[in-house]
Homo-oligomer: A and B are copies of this chain.
C-alpha cells in the first residue's frame, strides 16, 4: 500500500547574517534549511526534506522564501505556524503555512523572482541598516545605470555574470526588469527575472555600480554579455546587501 503524502507550502523570512546560506556545503549544521528542518521534525515527529524556491548564498537574506515539504499526516497549519515561530531562532520566521496542491513544488513551479540589492549611498555611517545594505560613499550616476540596465534586460546568455566556472545547464535567462528606487540615502536595485545563475544578481549589481561610478560606459554592457566570460563583468557585491523579495507562481 502506498501512503499518500500531503504537500504543504510555507513562506519563510530570514536574516541570513549568521548562516552559511539556505543549504551549506560540507558543514550543513549552520544553514537555514537545517535549522527549520530540525524544528519541523521535532514538532511533527516526521523527518522531512524541504524544497526552497532557490538556494540563497551565505549571508543573503529573504523577505519571503517559499518552501514546500511533505508529511504523511494532516496537521493543523495555524497551530504549527505558531509553534514554529516559537521555537525557531528570532532571525528566522514563518510568515504563512498552508496545504498545497499535490504537484506544487516551491522551485519547479516558480515562474519568476524578484531580488533586491540595497546600497547605502552616503559617507555617513549606516548604523541601523548596516546588516542589510552595502555602503558606497561616492555619488552614483543613476541615469547611466538606468541606461546600462536597459541593455541587460531581456533574454541573454548570462555566462559573464555567473559565479560558477563549469556549466552543466544552460546559462540563458530572461530579465524582465531592472528598476531603481531611491529613499533618502538608500538606493535599491530590483531584479525581476525568470531565474538567476549563481551570484548573478550580485555580479549584475556590481557591474551596474561600476557604471554609476563612471568606470564603465552604459553601452559596454552589450560587450560584457557578448564576451560570455566571467572576467568581462565586475566583481560580485557583498552578500549582506542582497535579499530575495518575492517569488511568483
Contacts and interface: CB of A to CB of B under 8 A. Distances in A.
Contact of A124 (B61, B90, B93): B93
Q: Which 10 A-B pairs have the closest CB atoms?
A: A93-B125, A13-B127, A93-B127, A85-B125, A90-B130, A15-B127, A95-B124, A14-B127, A91-B127, A15-B128
A50 to B, nearest CB: 18
Nearest to A91: B127
Interface residues of A, number: 20
Contact of A13 (B61, B85, B125): B125
A90 B125 CA distance: 8
A91 B125 CA distance: 9
Query: Taking chain A's interface residues, is the majority helix, strand, or loop, or is none over half, making it mixed?
Result: loop
Nearest to A94: B125
Contact of A128 (B95, B126, B127, B132): B132
B14 A95 contact: no
Interface in A6-30: 13-15
A61 B129 CA distance: 13
A92 interface: yes
Contacts of A95: 124-125
Residue of A15, A63, A128 contacting most chain B CB atoms (<10 Å): A128
Contacts of A94: 125
